[in-house]
Homo-oligomer: A and B are copies of this chain.
Amino acid sequence: MATSFNPTPRTLMGPGPSDVHPRILSALGRPTIGHLDPEFVAMMDEVKGLLQYAFQTKNELTIAVSAPGSAGMETCFVNLIEAGDNVIVCQNGVFGGRMKENVERLGATAIMVEDDWGKAVDVAKVEAALKATDNVKAVCFVHAETSTGAISDAKAICELAHQHGAVTIVDAVTSLGGSELRVDDWGIDAIYSGTQKCLSCVPGISPVSFNERAVEIIKNRKTKVQSWFLDLNLVMGYWGGEGKRAYHHTAPVNALYALHESLVMLEEEGLENAWKRHQDNHNALKAGIEAMGLEFIVDEASRLPQLNAVTIPEGVDEAAVRSTLLNQFNLEIGAGLGALAGKVWRIGLMGYSSRAENILLCLGALDAVLTDMGAKINSGAAISAAQAKMK
């Protein structure tokens, strides 16, 4: 007979999920009510408004897809792209590759703009690709690459795309709530994110937003959207104005309670304060990591504060370090992914995980475990270096 599952509490400093604030867990566990209950419908409307704030947009079509970030990505692609379209896809990590998969499974053509893992998307290369290709329907890129920790210039890429008559599809899974992101000011046409990163909510739903231009494209498609579940023509009816709500699927009621609470907390803190907190805490972690003798693989200019890809000291079994951190200190940090597998650790400072005590725990635990393993680091230097930045 199976028995109830009681997870050992962890401190989550990997690439996501991040630590979920007790207020959010508490909201998550509130009694389930019907997905058509007037109280729930009113809460969905609030979620919409709060997401507009988080995305800095007035887009009417700003909702949460009832599935993880990967499904948010797919929502953007299946609704905006049709077979035969030309789509420029920028790849500088894992998630650009996933965008390519999405484009190709739609029967469209992906024109790849590739940059090294750990670098920002090269805007000049995007311009060259736009000039070299006729009828580009969309330019797609990852604002904040979770696999490497690099941030790209979303505003510049959007301007270029628009000059060439293309719309933009932007991955903001790791940037939403953690780094400056201005959907309207920057002219982002379609964007998707996740809840389990800088919003510190549980994983499983995906905030998305589409501007008028994107909505026009969706309404004027030549073919039906290939996914029934993700067809925004149907989903729009479900998230539509009060009284017009049409049954589409059963919303993940409790997950939306949690998202609501996480967005309430974001509004309480203030979006710009949240961005600043992520940057300040990165600065403290960085001081400690560098004092220890480890390095960041992303240049400071394009480094995400909330996702820190850090080199592994020579001769160290990186997986053994992660296991020991987990088993001895209940601390999770992330492994490298794709081209960076085995080459970096990914230390997340996202949402509720981004706080002073976590920085000390992470630096102290890394110092202890690496020193134990005989790694070549400056033992004992990290904590005071970090503390100097935290005052």
Residues of A participating in the B interface, judged by any CB pair closer than 8 Å: 1-10, 12, 14, 16-17, 19-20, 23, 25-35, 37-40, 43, 46, 49-50, 66-71, 73-74, 78, 98, 101-102, 104-106, 194, 196, 202-205, 224-229, 247-255, 257-258, 260-261, 263-264, 267-268, 326, 332, 337
Contacts and interface: CB of A to CB of B under 8 A. Distances in A.
B9 A35 contact: no
A196 B35 CA distance: 11
30 contacts: A1-B268, A2-B46, A2-B50, A4-B261, A4-B264, A7-B31, A7-B43, A9-B33, A16-B250, A17-B35, A17-B253, A26-B29, A28-B29, A28-B254, A32-B202, A34-B332, A35-B203, A37-B332, A68-B252, A70-B229, A70-B248, A98-B228, A105-B227, A203-B252, A203-B253, A204-B251, A204-B254, A252-B255, A254-B255, A254-B258
B70 A225 contact: no
B28 A28 contact: yes
What's the number of copies of this chain in the assembled complex?
Answer: 2
Most chain B CB neighbours (cut-off 10 Å) among A46, A67, A98? A67
Nearest to A70: B249
A67 B69 contact: no
Contacts of A70: 228-229, 248-249
A264 B202 CA distance: 22
B250 A2 contact: no
Contact of A46 (B5, B17, B98, B202): B5
At the interface, is chain A mostly helix, strand, loop or mixed? loop
A282 to B, nearest CB: 21
A204 B256 CA distance: 10
Contacts of A8: 33, 39
- Chain B CB count within 10 A is highest, among A12, A32, A247, A260, for A32
B196 A250 contact: yes
A20 B255 CA distance: 14
